[in-house]
Amino acid sequence: MHWTDVAAKALSHKGDKHIVSTGITPSGEFHIGHLREILTGDMIARAARNAGLDVEFVFIVDTADPLRKVYDFLSEEYEQFIGHQLGSIPAPDVDGKPDWRRFEQEGWTYGDHFLKPFLEALNQIGVKPRIIDNLDAYTSGKFDALAKIACDRRDEIREAIERISGRELADDWFPWSPLDSKGSLDGVKVTGYEYPFVHWLDSHGVEGSSDLRKGEGKLPWRIDWPAKWGWIGVTCEPFGKDHGAAGGSYATGREIVKILGHEPPHPLTYEWISLKGQGAMSSSAGNTIGPIEALELVPPEILRLLVAKSKPNKAIEFDTGMSLVNLADEYERMAARDYAAELSNEELSRRQRVQIEDAAGAMRMAVIEEGTEAEATAVTFRHLALLAQTKSSDEEVWSSLRNAGAIKEPNQSLIDRLMRMRAWIASKHFPLEMKISILEHPNKDALLALSEEERSVLQSLADALTTCKWDAQSIGSAIPQSAKDLQLTPKSGYRAAYAALMGKERGPRLAPILAEMEQSTIVALLQKCAALVA
């Protein structure tokens, strides 16, 4: 069984109706690492629906959380908003300054600024949850009843947090953080409580009262999380390994939610997605690849497969270079398989059957439209990258693929893929080992770096490519043969070819690249090179 089916089966033992939840604080730009949580939730919900369960998927945006510091992408003007809730302060403009005009005219907040592009990415990637704005939930009274229980039973909650987390809370700790006289959650001391009011004294010497019914403040995180499980009715939630650690917020939350009168959801702890060679992604540290940026490079089903094929407890290393090429080509191979036919083989070992079922499950979760099947394009990413670099127009790419028998006409999926491929090639992320750069004029320095024997191959190579059939196989044979005809090693032929055509010692496989270019252009360049060093 695929890991999503295992999770769905666990939910089926607890009832037929479920709410799967994920959430995030929009404190900075969302990145690919955030996709692991929301895709994990989306995939569990899909698998549960496939199992016949009634499932809703919700995404909680924690706009009630405070701005914790002035991040590198913000101007110092945001110092005034530290401690203020993200859904109540202005969004940054292009210079990182508060955009007061949009805030006052449109209500455009800090949370909106970072959430909107992420929601656009989710739509592209086939994730369509019900969005819950946490600040709106507080101000509309959704937390009122549970906040009252938390305040009434604060001693029980305090004991649970201290016992499970192993840390001692401050003497003046209280399970509600009021907003102060300037709208900040920081530096406020609770002085008394009679429902629905929490009385306080702030750091400016101002006294006031916070009304639980109006959400004039919020519950601390370790209580806020289980309270959300309670009023939303969450029955399953994936979360990062930090929350799942011993003494972490899930461990305290599952006991606190019972004090609040509800049951804890089925947990699923996931590992991080890290950038290759750079460690875990972090918005505040700038160590990120954004989902919109990634979707400009590769089709959304490739990003879904990245999460779908890895069990949640397995760390994922992501990079936009060769690993992404390999993943895209893996998707094409997996999409082309007939899993039903493979599983009908009665001679399969248990291990083989599990591997096939796991791959089939991953492909069910990789498709954008739930319930559809993946379609292979018969064009690998590597070959499309080659064509996109050697053909100046899209029509030339389609003509090459028609002539090769790969397609009759391009479908929309392939058209979109080529568009993304061109964007990828033009970006800083395209792997150097796949970069194709055929010279327009001879590179004299590269030619003089060849030995005298290697330079002698140039004319033989020009002659061989003049007469050979212009396809990858024939060209691939002609290059080493041009050196053998002079009683030299095949290596001499390749070194001469790379120096003449690319101006370097080595590079990507030449034959398939040259086959997509004009024969007369390549031969003319080789003849110029031969004449230059003659």
- Mean pLDDT (the chain) is 94
How large a percentage of the chain has pLDDT more than 70?
98
Peptide bond into 196 cis (omega under 30): yes
Cα separation, 488 vs 388, whole angstroms: 35
3-state DSSP call for residue 296? coil
Q: Are 460 and 500 in contact (CB under 8 A)?
A: no
What average pLDDT does the segment 75-86 reach?
Answer: 98
Question: Given this structure, which CATH class describes domain 444-532?
Answer: mainly alpha
Residue 293: the pLDDT is 83
Angle between helix 519-532 and helix 452-467 axes, rounded to 10 deg: 150
Please write the tens of the pLDDT for every residue from 396-432. 999 999 998 999 999 998 999 999 999 999 988 888 8
Cα separation, 232 vs 249, whole angstroms: 18
Please write the tens of the pLDDT for every residue from 459-488. 999 999 999 999 999 999 999 999 999 999
Q: Which of 195, 206, 177 is nearest to 84 (CA)?
A: 177
Reply yes or no on whether the pLDDT at 290 is more than 80.
no
Please write the tens of the pLDDT for every residue from 175-218. 999 999 999 999 999 999 999 999 999 999 999 999 999 999 99
Q: Which of 456, 375, 390 is nearest to 421 (CA)?
A: 390
Q: Are 301 and 366 in contact (CB under 8 A)?
A: yes
Q: Rounded to two decimals, what is the model's pTM?
A: 0.89
Cα separation, 450 vs 498, whole angstroms: 10
Residue 507: the pLDDT is 84
Residue 50: the pLDDT is 96
Residue 279: the pLDDT is 56
Residue 278: the pLDDT is 59
Cα dihedral 158→161→163→167 (10° resolution): -100
Domain boundaries, the chain: 3-143+220-270, 176-217, 381-434, 444-532
Residue 277: the pLDDT is 60
Q: How far is CA 525 from CA 438, 443, 528, in A?
A: 10, 10, 5
Please write the tens of the pLDDT for every residue from 86-134. 999 999 999 999 999 999 999 999 999 999 999 999 999 999 999 999 9
Q: Are 457 and 492 in contact (CB under 8 A)?
A: yes
What average pLDDT does the segment 281-300 reach?
Answer: 72
Cα separation, 391 vs 380, whole angstroms: 16
Please write the tens of the pLDDT for every residue from 17-55. 999 999 999 999 888 888 899 999 999 999 999 999 999
3-state DSSP call for residue 54? strand
Cα separation, 502 vs 507, whole angstroms: 8
Residues 6+ apart with CB under 8 A from 95: 75
Quickly name the fold that domain 3-143+220-270 has: Rossmann fold (3.40.50)
Reply yes or no on whether the pLDDT at 304 is more than 60.
yes
* SS3 readout for 67-133: ECCCCCCCCHHHHHHECEEHHHCECECCCCCECHHHHHHHCCEHHHHHHHHHHHHHHHCCCCCEEEE
Quote the radius of gyration of the chain (alpha carbons, Å).
Answer: 30
Q: How many CB atoms lie within 10 A of CB 12?
A: 14
278 token code pair:
């750079």
Residues 6+ apart with CB under 8 A from 476: 509, 510, 511
Please write the tens of the pLDDT for every residue from 276-289. 765 555 554 555 67
Residues 6+ apart with CB under 8 A from 169: 158, 161, 162
Q: Which of 419, 334, 340 is nearest to 374 (CA)?
A: 334
Residue 441: the pLDDT is 94
Please write the tens of the pLDDT for every residue from 1-11. 899 999 999 99
Q: Which of 260-269, 288-297, 503-512 has the lowest mean pLDDT?
A: 288-297
Cα separation, 433 vs 276, whole angstroms: 17
User: Which residues, listed in sequence order, are joined to residue 273 by a DSSP beta bridge?
Assistant: 316
Cα separation, 321 vs 297, whole angstroms: 11
Type of residue found at 253:
G
495 or 283, which is more confident:
495
Please write the tens of the pLDDT for every residue from 350-391. 999 999 999 999 999 999 999 999 988 889 889 999 999 999
